Amino acid sequence: MGFTGIAVGTFLGLSTKLGSNVLQKVPYMRHPWEHVLFMGIGAGLGGYFQNKYHRDLEEVEELRLYLERRPDVNKKA
């Protein structure tokens, strides 16, 4: 897991909970355990999506190499 995905996910989780409290017009840090929960969920999702992004990039590169090697693709009609 990369640090960037975890950091962005943590920030989004915290801002989601803070935004929710603002809309409800309650104190910002009400139920602090929920902030920790949302930050953990955000960090997990951020790391997951960052790993998925890099796996997808590798898969696309493999497909491009495969398509370049096919003999019927390089022929021009």
Q: What is the pLDDT at residue 76? A: 62
Closest by alpha carbon to 30, among 42, 39, 18, 40? Answer: 18
pTM: 0.75
Q: Residue 33 corresponds to which tokens in the numbers above?
A: 């355990």
pLDDT tens, residue order, the chain (77 aa): 578 989 999 999 999 999 999 999 999 888 999 999 999 999 999 999 999 999 999 999 999 998 887 766 666 65
Residue ranges of domains in the chain: 3-71
* Rounded-to-integer distance, Cα 58 and Cα 63, Å: 9
Residue with tokens 């951020």: 46
- 71 half-sphere exposure, CB direction, 13 A CA radius: 0
